[in-house]
């Protein structure tokens, strides 16, 4: 059954946002909520499920990395959250805005004012004939008044300075390094003060030094501006430098790594890392591939409930049957499966 869509203005969505966040059940600080999210693509009569019931919650102010193999659904999820694609089923919301219920005009305003996006390729982020300052100012001119005109020049300078590219103010992209272009692209994405910044492989085409500068810029945006940042990356250095890393496998979230920094009495910092398997609303989880391979867990596993945990065992059903089967059945098994009563 197809979902009917009623045109809804961005202003009306904003009026509903606070109530929807509080009624969601995930808490008022849940900025991104994906519930059983499905995205199906059809090509040449063949259907491909890029997202297969994905659940994800990202809270306001988090800096999170999304990792996974090619084809796992990372970029599809980012496109949905950016308002560039529409789910086939399930729900997805950002700051209380239902991404399945916006009309075309509201979706355009959402992309301009609520969410910022940084592509991997610099050519998709910056217009080549405009200076850095002009590129940053352009979204404000198109943004419908979220940033007042008299604030434009100061905001351009502040963003470029914050990201360490103030010296590129009057430079066009071809006069910047790759790292400078990407940091300028971050400034463009932040021009209209979005609540969420999405970055798709922002360091994928950079050397290690420039990649570190871009990561530092994203961390600065998160800490100084309070902007929630979600990064899709294959870069292990990026994934290990954020507090939360979510792994996607086969169109579902499969595991998370949480990092916590603590300091001892002498001021020395220690980072504690803990990996978790994610459990969806139906109680499903994905075992880490390396765990399943090491224990030869394939089609099914045996679970045992303990007082404080669940034990997962390799499928030993054949051994259990041979040990516990009635005597006549054991005889049949020993006789190659023929009925021993004949």
The predicted structure's pLDDT at residue 327:
59
Which residues share a beta bridge with 311? 304
Angle at 229 between CA 90 and CA 92, to 5 degrees: 10
Scan for tokens 């193999």, then name that residue. Answer: 69
pLDDT at 25: 44
Tokens of 271: 């980072």
Return the pLDDT at 10: 45
Q: What are the 10-residue block averages of pLDDT along the chain, 342 residues in total?
A: 40 48 60 94 85 93 93 93 93 92 88 92 91 95 77 94 96 96 96 95 91 94 95 87 91 89 75 81 78 82 85 70 54 50 46
* Domains delineated in the chain: 10-263 (3.40.50.300), 295-342 (no CATH)
At residue 327, the 3 state secondary structure works out as helix
User: Is the model's pTM score more than 0.75?
Assistant: yes
Locate the DSSP E strands across the chain.
30-43, 46-59, 63-67, 89-94, 97-98, 115-118, 196-200, 228-232, 244-249, 252-263, 269-277, 301-305, 310-314
Question: Could you give phi then psi for residue 337, rounded to 5 degrees?
Answer: 95, -5
Contact 37, 87 (CB under 8 A): yes
Calpha distance 284→37 (Å, rounded): 15
Question: Any residues with CB less than 8 A from the CB of 128 and at least 6 apart, and which?
Answer: 172, 173, 174
Q: How far apart are CA 97 and CA 101, in angstroms?
A: 8
């Amino acid at each position: 059954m197809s979902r009917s869509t009623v045109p809804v203005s961005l202003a009306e969505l904003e009026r509903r946002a606070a109530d929807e966040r509080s009624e969601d059940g995930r808490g008022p600080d849940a900025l991104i909520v994906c519930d059983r999210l499905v995205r199906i693509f059809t090509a040449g009569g063949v259907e491909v499920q890029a997202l297969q019931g994905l659940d994800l919650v990202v809270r306001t102010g988090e800096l999170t990395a999304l990792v996974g193999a090619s084809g796992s659904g990372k970029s599809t999820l980012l496109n949905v959250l950016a308002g560039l694609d529409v789910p086939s089923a399930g729900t997805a919301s950002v700051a209380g805005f239902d991404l399945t219920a916006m009309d075309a005009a509201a979706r355009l305003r959402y992309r301009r004012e609520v969410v910022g996006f940084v592509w991997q390729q610099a050519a998709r982020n910056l217009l080549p004939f405009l200076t850095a300052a002009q590129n940053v100012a352009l979204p404000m001119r198109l943004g419908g008044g979220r940033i007042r005109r008299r604030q434009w020049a100061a905001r351009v300078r502040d963003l470029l300075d914050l990201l360490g590219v103030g010296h590129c103010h009057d430079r066009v992209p071809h006069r910047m390094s790759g790292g400078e272009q990407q940091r300028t692209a971050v400034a463009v994405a932040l021009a209209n003060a979005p609540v969420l910044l999405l970055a798709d492989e922002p360091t994928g085409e950079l050397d290690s030094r420039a990649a570190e500068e871009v990561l530092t810029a994203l961390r600065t945006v998160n800490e100084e501006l309070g902007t929630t940042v979600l990064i899709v990356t294959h870069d292990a250095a990026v994934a290990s430098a954020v507090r939360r890393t979510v792994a996607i496998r086969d169109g579902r979230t499969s595991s998370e790594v949480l990092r916590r920094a603590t300091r001892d009495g002498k001021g020395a910092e220690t980072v504690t890392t803990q990996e978790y398997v994610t459990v969806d609303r139906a109680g499903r989880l994905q075992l880490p591939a390396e765990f399943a391979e090491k224990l030869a867990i394939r089609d099914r596993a045996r679970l045992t409930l303990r007082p404080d945990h669940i034990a997962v065992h390799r499928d030993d059903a054949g051994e259990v049957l041979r040990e516990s089967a009635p005597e006549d059945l054991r005889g049949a098994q020993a006789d190659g499966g023929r009925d021993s009563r004949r």
